[in-house]
Each structure stands twice: as structure tokens, then as C-alpha cells.
A and B are shown apart, each in its own frame.
Chain A
Amino acid sequence: MTPAPAYSPAELMAVNAARLLQDGEVVFVGVGLPNLACNLALRTHAPNLTLIYEAGVIGARPERLPLSIGDPTLVTGATAVTSMYDIFALYLQRGLVDVGFLGGAQIGRYGDINATVIGDYAHPKTRLPGSGGSMEIAAFAKRCFIITPHQPRRFPERVDFQTSLGHGPARRALPGSGPQAVVTDLGLLRPDASGELVLAALHPGITVEQARAATGWPLQIAPDLTTTAAPTAEELALLRALDPDRIYLK
């Protein structure tokens, strides 16, 4: 008998992303699930996280769920507000950011991300929003996490456009270590020694076959494959309080 799931795929991803954050870290946060993951970590094991939002807010303590990267609730009660140039130059490029969150339409075998275009750049089949801050976050944050549903079209062998760098040869010259975990609704992918994303963990009840079927390249399995702990009642209660209308947790 299969018990009814007690959590949604979005909740599962947010909880697992929160667990990747360590107390005391400086995190470059995006809206949506990264914001929920960071605020959950702040309320559980990492009360000394510093949340930086690319709009120029440092040490945010949002009192409501931010609905855009420039939500006024990020400003009220923050430790500092600065210009975008300062955020990218003095904080990110300078090397003060420990963790950055990235997203995109396609994630390739070596962690390259495409957030720009599907098809030919000059004659786009689907035009996506573009880099925003992700090109620099991927390069300069000490490590990066990605949260995304696990579907074949999101995990092609190669991306159509390299909006941000994964683990190609150019990575050696960069201060950041690139994508260190991809949190999906099936499990966690992590780079192996060659930089290829491999299956490092499965969520409870998920099989290797499911993960392989949802990945666009022959997915390798880490020798120390683990199973993640199911979200706890406390984690779920805190998370749901952060998004009471289930805008991102649906």
C-alpha cells in the first residue's frame, strides 16, 4: 500500500534546499522556492544566515512572502540597502557571497544553465527572460544550488545557450566552484570529479529508474547514493507559514 504523500513536490524541494545551507553563510537569494528555502533555514538550523537579494538588499528579514525580487518587505528591517552596482561589484564579484541560487529552462550534463533562449539565438523558438544576475552568480558565488522539477526537457545533454557556466574547463580560472547540487522533486544531483552531474540522492519512494527516465543523458549513479530524510512536520509547518496562500508551494 502506498501512503498518500504528506507533502508536495515543491515542499520537498524547498526543504531539501534549506538543508544544504550552513549557519553563518551569506546567501544570494532569488524569489520563489530559493526564498522559501533560505527563510526556512533561517528559522531552523541556520539562524545566522545573511540573505542578500540582487535588488540591493543585505540582511533582509521579510515579514511577508516577497512576490518579486524587489518587494518592499525586503527593505523594511534589513541591515543595509545599496545600489545594484554595489551588490554585484562589492558583494558578489568581490567574493563575499558563499551560496547563490540559480534557475533556468535547461540544465546540461556538466551544469551549464540556459535561461536565455530555446532554439537559435537570432531567430528564437522561445525567448526566455535572459541572464539577469545568473551569469555572475554562477561565476563568483563560492558554490551554487539549483532547484528545478526533474523532467527530460529540463535536463538535456547540452543546453541551447550557455547563460551561466557549469563545470567546463573555464571553471578553473573562476573563484566560485559552480553548481554543487541540483535539488529536484526526485532527488539530488551533484557533480562528480569530472564535473558531470550524477545522481547523489533519491527522495523517499523514488527509484533510480525514475530519475534516469527524467534525465536527458545517461545518468550515472554516485557510489554512495543515499536517500533523503522525508520532510519533518516542523519543517513543513514553518514552510507553509511562509507561503500561506501556496503561491510557490502548490
Chain B
Amino acid sequence: MPKLTDLASAIATHVHDGDLLYLAGFTHLIPFAAGHEIIRQGRRDLTLARATPDIIYDQMAAAGCARKIIFSYMGNPGVGSLHVLRRLVESGALEWEEYSHFGMITRLAAAAAGLPFLPLRPTGAESLAAVNPAYKTIPDPYGGPDVVALPALHPDVAILHVQRADVHGNAHLWGILGEQKEAAFAARRVILTAEEIVDEDVIRRDPNRTLIPGLIVTAVCHVPHAAHPSYAQGYYDRDNAFYLEWDALSQDEVRLHAWLEEWVYALPDRAAYWAKLGSAAHARLTPAPRPSGEVDYGGYA
């Protein structure tokens, strides 16, 4: 069943005030365009879950979308603090719930597999378990040492950016795969944005590259460059200069809100955003080609 729609309609239909969202992608393929559309549509009281909240959740929190954050590393990767989230947490204005990376991802893996929880080996570090009651120590029913249990995390909506998908939502991803598969299978609704919408035949020619099957996808949207200032392997580079710029401007309320006005509220969509970035930025971010070899699946008529 074709699920192709535009991003504004997908967000309007499937993302509601109060939802628990997981915008997936570990540094790579972060769905910034979807985050900006959620800001434009004025969603409120969201619980924002991500292993690494990254700049996208800093922006969504600055725009007033968030009631709570669930995370395992709340930093600006390679730069320092996420200043908006840090201010909101330090002032008590935002609820938060915290895990290690492995704990966070394990919660998604449990939900993705339809399990109530999954066990992990204990790490001996006591402080996080002391402040987060979700950490439980349980006996190994087979007589080994105790294990730590963490509960399944079921997002209402997972949003993923992918390199290419067909109209059914079958999606090819390559490069760093983060927690995309677990987040998508864990969620009740899945929205994809894609660099390219391709013929079903492109997907069927390389089925091992399909990380996300269309059968769990709710809506698929054609949104090129949706991951900037994050990146899409083979399409455009990570814009580290913006990550550095954000460090400065996110510490200044006036500049912060001026930025949101100029780059989110005043723009209709991602195409306008990409055009506004300009051709010098496009050239700076374009990688050299480095195609993979091909494999032969064989014909078995």
C-alpha cells in the first residue's frame, strides 16, 4: 500500500501533543527536517527520547515542544554541552530520565522484540540505578549471577531519515546504523523521510540493504537534505561548523530565538532551508564518490 505523503501532512496526522517521540540516528541521518516541522506545527508536552539528544532536541526544547527528555548522552557531539537542555535541566524546568547508551538501546530492543524487558550484565556503577528506579537487579533464573533488567521503551512515534525508500516504506540505509532498526520496530507509528524515493525494483535488487521493512512504516516522505547539519553517508557531509556555531548561539536567548525564527518558523519546508544555506555550503558538504562493489544475488527462475 503506497504511504507516500508530504512531511507537513505526516506530522499533522501522526504526531500529537503529549506523544513520546524517538527521532532516531546516532550522529548520522538525524531527522532535522521532521523536528523543524514539529516546531512549526507547535506541538507541546512531548517526551523526547534519544540516546544522544543532539542539536535537534536542543532546538525542539528551545521552541517549547518538550515536557520531558529521555537520554544517555546529553552533549553536543565533539563540541561540549547542549546548552538549552542543560539550562532547562539545571533550572528544573524540564523532566528527565537517564540511562547509559547500552541501557537506552536495550530498552528499544526489548520493545522491538515485543518483550517486557531485557537483561544486561551489571556494571558495578551504582549511582544511576540509585536515581533511576527503572534499573532493577533480578536473579538469573538459571542460577548464574544476578542481571540488571530495563523495561521496554515504546515510542508513540519513531521518525527516521533514510537514504532511499520506495513508496511502501521499504528503506535502504548504509553507513552508521545507530538505533534506527530498534526504534522503528519499538514504535507504534513510524514516519520516514528519504533522500530519494526509488522504484520498488531498486529495493528488490538489494534486499540485504533493507533495514526498515515497509510493513512497519506508517508514512514515507520525500525530503532531500533532511538530515543537515547531521549528514547522509554518500550524499552530504556533517556540517561541523554549524555544530560549533550552535554552541555559541544556543547560549544567548536573543540569538537563539532569532535563529529559530529565521531558519525554522520563517521557512515553509526543507527545500527552502537547503536553498537558503546556499551553493557554497552545498559544495563544501558534498563528498567525493566512493561506490561499494556490487554483489551477485543470482537468478533462480
Contacts and interface: CB of A to CB of B under 8 A. Distances in A.
Interface of A: 31-32, 54-57, 67-72, 74-76, 81-85, 88-89, 92-93, 116, 121-136, 138-140, 161-165, 168, 170-171, 173-174
B180 to A, nearest CB: 8
B101 A88 contact: yes
Interface string B87-123: 0011010000011111101101100000000001111
A121 B127 CA distance: 9
A136 B121 CA distance: 9
Nearest to A160: B127
Q: State the majority secondary structure of interface residues on B.
A: loop
Nearest to A31: B78
A174 B120 CA distance: 13
Top 7 A-B residue pairs of the complex, sorted by shortest distance between their CB atoms:
A70-B27, A129-B75, A170-B124, A132-B73, A139-B123, A165-B124, A68-B78
Contacts of B73: 129-133
Contact of A163 (B89, B108, B127, B178): B127
Contacts of B28: 55, 70, 72
B181 A174 contact: no
Contacts of A82: 177
B126 to A, nearest CB: 6
Contacts, number: 173
B123 A136 contact: yes
Given A162-B127, A168-B124, A72 B175 contact: yes
B100 A83 contact: no
Contact of B124 (A81, A124, A134, A174): A174
A62 to B, nearest CB: 13
Count class of interface residues, chain B: 35 or more
A83 B71 contact: no
Interface string B43-60: 000000001100000000
A235 B103 CA distance: 38
Q: State the majority secondary structure of interface residues on A.
A: loop
Nearest to B233: A72
In the complex, which of the residues B100, B103, B181 has the most CB atoms of chain A within 10 Å of its own CB atom?
A: B100
A130 B74 CA distance: 6
B178 A139 contact: no
Nearest to A92: B102
B74 A136 contact: no
Contacts of A171: 124
B195 interface: no
5 contacts: A68-B78, A72-B237, A83-B177, A84-B105, A131-B98
A193 B136 CA distance: 32
B125 A163 contact: yes
A211 to B, nearest CB: 27
Interface string B128-155: 1001000000000000010000000000
In the complex, which of the residues A85, A121, A140, A162 has the most CB atoms of chain B within 10 Å of its own CB atom?
A: A85
B22 interface: no
Contact of A139 (B124, B131, B290): B124
A231 B209 CA distance: 46
Contacts of A140: 121, 123
A81 B176 contact: yes
Contacts of B128: 116, 131, 135, 163
A64 to B, nearest CB: 10
A138 B18 CA distance: 36
B3 interface: no
Nearest to B30: A70
B26 interface: yes
